[in-house]
Amino acid sequence: MNFAGFLELHARSNPHRLALADNRCRLSFAEFDDLASRFAEAMAELGLVRGDRVGIFLPNRVEVAIVLLGCMKAGYLPVPFNSRLRGDDLTRVVGHSDPACIVTTAAALPEFIFTRARSVLTVDEEQRTGGFWTALERMTGHYPSIGVQAGEPANLLYTSGTTATPKAAIHTHGMRIAIAGAMADSFRLSQTDIALAVSPLFHTSGMSVLSNAIFVGCPCIMVEKWDLDDFLRVVESERVTFMHMIATLIVDVATADEVRFAQLTHRMRMTWGGGHKVDPAVLEQFEQRMGGVLLQGYSRTEGGLTYNRLPPMERRFDHNGYENFNSSRVAIFDPDTHAPVPVGETGLIAVQGDGVSPGYWDGDFVRRPKLIDNVWQPTGDIGFLDDAGALHFIGRLDYMIKTGGENVFPSEVEAVLLALDQVTDAVVVGIDDTRFGQRVCAIVVPSRAGASADEIITACRRSLSGFKIPKTILFQDHLPRLGNSKVDIKACVALVEASLEPHPDASSRRNTPSVRDGVAQ
């Protein structure tokens, strides 16, 4: 089934209900469907054929949804690009996906002078203006969605590229339906809900917010950029009931001045989110300010998800929730032998099911991950399942630090650091060390001037084994982050490496604390 069929269904059954809104434009389901059909028609007139890619380089605006659903109707592959990319980073993903058409803002048009696309359609700042809208005006709006099978591609979505070049994960129509159906089931979504897309639509979570709204037939309100006061105004005025938020924004809400929430009378029903580890007290403060429950989970661009249960008494902050069989299954395997591991034992997280991508698009072929037992797709993540079946995500397998024959999971060390009063944010990485293989290093954002590496190391000794304690601590004002707000691990490693004093003989390094700027300024 074509995922765009859900839009057509709601356009028939509830044509005048609000479907999409941003700070420039509001569209009913009938208008949304008509414009998506017009876009499909415009691409056909341009000469696109089934399987051609259409690039989207826009912030969260209604035009993103129009392009996504218009492409799905006709069998083209929409490709949302990270709208924060510039220069070579943008050139790489555009060159890789080779779009036949690109939709972008007029201001960003110079970024695409290199493109081989047949057409670049622009969206102006004023509503319904620009070449994009001019092209749609000339169309009839009669373009019912084509028939597709569940395994056919619906869109491409680039991974975040935390440690490597982003890959174009294939989202099939069946995957879109399975994930939206699982979330609708887990979160008890309905047409009475109102969704808020704070997370960008080039990210899997932002895409899920929009897909969930289309699946159940409720409005989706889009926030173009993060501003706390504007966010609170939208939540209040639109009566938002559910949303996704990354950990960075959750912290912003929980730690802002209380007076900014004085006029907020509307209460959220639920928020789901994730990202870096956050003190549970901060998460509880978020719930108190926004209302409803905050549900942590596990998800990835390639699919496979778990989420905490909706009832407030069942939600937990010490694990990442449970499987929903409507989307995917989760299992844990030994990283080396690929044998199943017992309950409670840490290993490689693997997923399988309708809500899992078949692989990565790479021109004329699909790169499919090598499956475990011809069924389970390894995620590259490490974790374990407890006795109740809840998943505990620990970190990336390729982030695991091997030092002196011992394995150190950065997330375990980060959790200890983040619990310290003198630490606001932290990341732990492994740096090459001739004698020990790797040394454990931390970049710390201090909560106050005068925080010292010695006091942090002393505090760590109360909770960590000696081999897990950071041997190098670097103080910074903030952590380097990617466009999707994830910590940029490659940049963090480079920062630590640059901070270390050069050693004429690397073999002379000792596995003892080495600190740059040992006292926070």
What would the DSSP string read from start to end of 314-357? T--SSS--EEBTTTBEEEEE-TTT--B--TT--EEEEEESTTB-
pTM for this entry? 0.83
Q: Which helix (H) or strand (E) holds 11?
A: helix 4-13
Q: What is the pLDDT along the chain (521 residues), one digit of tens a residue?
A: 999 999 999 999 999 999 999 999 999 999 999 999 999 999 999 999 999 999 999 999 999 999 999 999 999 999 999 998 888 889 989 999 999 999 999 999 999 988 899 999 999 999 999 999 999 999 999 999 999 999 999 999 998 754 456 899 999 999 999 999 999 999 999 999 999 999 999 999 999 999 999 999 999 999 999 999 999 999 999 999 999 998 889 989 999 999 999 889 988 999 998 776 788 899 999 999 999 999 999 999 999 999 999 999 999 999 999 999 899 999 999 998 999 999 999 999 999 999 999 999 998 778 888 999 999 999 999 999 999 999 999 887 878 888 887 878 898 899 999 999 999 999 999 998 877 788 999 999 998 888 899 999 999 999 888 889 999 999 999 999 876 677 888 899 999 999 886 644 443 333 444 454 444 54
Domains (range + CATH), the chain: 4-392 (3.40.50.12780), 400-516 (3.30.300.30)
Q: Which residue has the tokens 């982003």?
A: 166
> Read out DSSP for 252-311?
HHHHS-GGGGTT-----SEEEEESS---HHHHHHHHHHH-SEEEEEE--TTB--EE--SS
Radius of gyration of the chain measured on its C-alpha atoms: 24
Q: At 6, is the secondary structure helix, strand, or coil?
A: helix
CB atoms within 10 A of CB 50: 12
Position 496, amino acid: V
pLDDT at position 466 is: 87
Alpha-carbon dihedral of residues 206, 182, 192, 21, nearest 10 degrees? Answer: 20
CA-based torsion, 111, 114, 117, 119: positive or negative: positive
User: Which residues, 6 or more positions from 12, have their beta carbon under 8 angstroms from its beta carbon?
Assistant: none
pLDDT at position 360 is: 95
User: Which residues, 6 or more positions from 319, have their beta carbon under 8 angstroms from its beta carbon?
Assistant: 296, 308, 386, 390, 391, 392
pLDDT at position 512 is: 42
User: Which residues, 6 or more positions from 352, have their beta carbon under 8 angstroms from its beta carbon?
Assistant: 304, 328, 329, 331, 371, 375, 376, 377
Q: How far apart are CA 374 and CA 368, in angstroms?
A: 12
- Taking a C-beta distance cutoff of 8 angstroms, is the pair 410, 428 a contact? yes
pLDDT at position 114 is: 83
pLDDT at position 506 is: 41
pLDDT at position 193 is: 97
Residue among 263, 253, 237 at smallest CA distance from 288: 253
Q: How far apart are CA 411 and CA 378, in angstroms?
A: 20
Alpha-carbon dihedral of residues 97, 305, 492, 418, nearest 10 degrees? Answer: 160
The strand pairing partners of 382, in sequence order, are 348, 395
Q: How far apart are CA 226 and CA 196, in angstroms?
A: 12
pLDDT at position 276 is: 66
- Taking a C-beta distance cutoff of 8 angstroms, is the pair 220, 209 a contact? yes
Question: Long-range contact list for 264-269, CB < 8 A, 24+ apart?
Answer: 264/232, 264/235, 264/236, 264/289, 264/290, 265/236, 266/235, 266/236, 266/239, 266/240, 266/291, 267/291, 267/292, 268/235, 268/240, 268/241, 268/242, 268/243, 268/292, 269/193, 269/241, 269/242
